[in-house]
Structure 1
């Protein structure tokens, strides 16, 4: 599960430190697609929304 602190870490690593997505993926353990989704497509740093589970 992605938390706000992980989102902040991803943004900080890219914008402040200049790391490419590949290095961020290695260091956080998240996939590159996940990082791309939360880094590029989400302009705000709010809590991610997940679909409700259906049992």
Structure 2
């Protein structure tokens, strides 16, 4: 993950360079988890791709 260009926060920029962008990494991990959960909980596949509730 690349750090965002803040420009106005040199201390934050220094920390990102030293330790990595933890906030961006956490956001990426959360999005990957959300996508996996959505795929796992996709019950439409259980009835052969139809949306019939029969």
Q: TM-score range by the shorter chain?
A: under 0.3
More helix, by proportion: 2
Q: RCO greater where, 1 or 2, for CA within 8 Å and sep 6 or more?
A: 1
Higher gyration radius (CA): 2
User: Normalising to structure 1: TM-score of the pair?
Assistant: 0.25
